[in-house]
């Protein structure tokens, strides 16, 4: 039985928006192909405050919490400015289809 190697195959390769409970959220699938330019575009003014790399590990700082980001996960920026890292299963349970 073949295993699915990329859990994000059914997502856009760059940032996108989607609704949950009628609130818009912004998403960025984080893969081995994600560029610094994509991260800067996604985080905007928060980039220098919220994003750090330690030994090639992306870490997001949401308020005082350090959130490590693994590849093939999805970074979420909620309307209130908070960040979260989710997997594709969580996305499909809690959000509508991506708006591209």
pTM of the model: 0.77
Are the beta carbons of 25 and 76 closer than 8 angstroms?
Answer: yes
Grouping H, G, I as helix, E, B as strand and the rest as coil, residue 38 is: helix
What is the tens place of the pLDDT at every residue in 20-52?
A: 655 778 999 999 999 999 999 999 999 999 999
Which contacts (CB < 8 Å, 24+ apart) does range 80-83 have?
81/46, 83/50
- List strand residue ranges (DSSP E) for the chain, in order: 16-20, 23-30, 51-54, 57-62, 65-69, 73-77, 83-86
* DSSP letter (8 states) at residue 36: H
The Cα diameter of the chain in Å comes to: 45
* Per-domain boundaries in the chain: 20-94
What is the tens place of the pLDDT at every residue in 80-94?
A: 889 999 999 998 888
65-69 β-sheet, strand order: 51-54, 57-62, 65-69
Identify the residue whose tokens are 């818009």: 24
């Amino acid at each position: 039985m073949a295993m699915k190697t990329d859990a994000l195959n059914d997502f856009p390769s760059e940032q996108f928006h989607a609704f949950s409970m009628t609130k818009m959220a912004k998403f960025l699938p984080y893969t081995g192909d994600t560029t610094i330019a994509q991260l800067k575009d996604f985080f905007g003014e928060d980039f220098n405050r919220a994003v750090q790399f330690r030994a090639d590990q992306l870490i997001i700082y949401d308020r005082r919490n350090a959130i490590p980001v693994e590849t093939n996960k999805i970074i979420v920026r909620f309307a209130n400015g908070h960040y979260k890292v989710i997997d594709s299963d969580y996305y499909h349970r809690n959000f509508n289809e991506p708006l591209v």
